[in-house]
Amino acid sequence: MVLRANNPHHQEERMMTRLYHALTAAAIWLSMAALIAGCAAGTVKPETLNQRLAYAYGAHTAVLESAALQVKAGTLSKADGESILKIADESRTLLDGARSAQLAGDTPTALGRLQVASSILSQLTILLQQREGAK
Amino acid sequence: MSNTTDAIGALNGALQVAIQMLIRAQEVSAMIQAAQAEGRDLTDEELLELAGKDDAARKALADVLAASPAA
């Protein structure tokens, strides 16, 4: 075992395998990034408050789904996942409040709640991206 | 080499979140386009439909956390 680990030929082989995996992952990432950029360009720009609310609900769902995937994959700890869930719940309360305010015709309140909820969602998204990168 | 691996790990994390965001954005975009084709804005019922899907995602995360051993 020690002899095998110290064998220069074996070490070179392992390095080449790692390099191959790194390059493959980078190529896949670049392809997916290009695909995402293309698809994102095709989404409709929100023009009304209800449309902005709809995108915010979608982003909220994406944060929850990303957190679940990362906890399952072991790249996000249970404690961090629970923190994200707790903060996401606050964001969801704000979104529901914005929807209720809009229904009642109180657009300024709806806009204010939507802005705070969106800000929280942006922070959660950054946190999720950094957590996976930190592992 | 570990720097390269870390960098790719960070890119994968960003990509994974971006993919989830894109899937949901496409769904909402299609909903908006359908409403616009009918000459109207999104209704409260449609927002409630999205809220229902969000509830399901919340439950899925809570279930994953419950099944996950403490660190």
Tell me how far apart the alpha carbons of residues A76 and B40 are, in angstroms, rounded to a whole number.
Answer: 41
Q: Using the predicted structure, report yes or no on whether residue B1 has a pLDDT greater than 90.
A: no
Tell me how far apart the alpha carbons of residues A17 and A25 are, in angstroms, rounded to a whole number.
Answer: 12
Burial class (CB in 10 A: 0-12, 13-18, 19+), A42: exposed
Alpha helices, H only, A41-77: 49-73
User: Is B26 within 8 Å of A71 when comparing Cβ atoms?
Assistant: no
* pLDDT tens per residue across span A92-119: 999 999 999 999 999 999 999 999 999 9
Q: What percent of chain B has pLDDT over 70?
A: 82
Tell me how far apart the alpha carbons of residues A11 and A34 are, in angstroms, rounded to a whole number.
Answer: 35
Taking only residues 12 to 71 of chain B, the set having a beta carbon closer than 8 angstroms to any beta carbon of chain A reads 12-29, 31-33, 36, 41-44, 46-47, 50-51, 53-54, 57-58, 60-62, 64-65, 68-71
The yes/no answer to whether this complex scores an ipTM above 0.90 is no
Q: What is the pTM of this model?
A: 0.79
Tell me how far apart the alpha carbons of residues A79 and A28 are, in angstroms, rounded to a whole number.
Answer: 31
User: Is B26 within 8 Å of A60 when comparing Cβ atoms?
Assistant: no
A132 lies within 8 A of chain B by CB: yes
* pLDDT tens per residue across span A42-64: 789 999 999 999 999 999 999 99
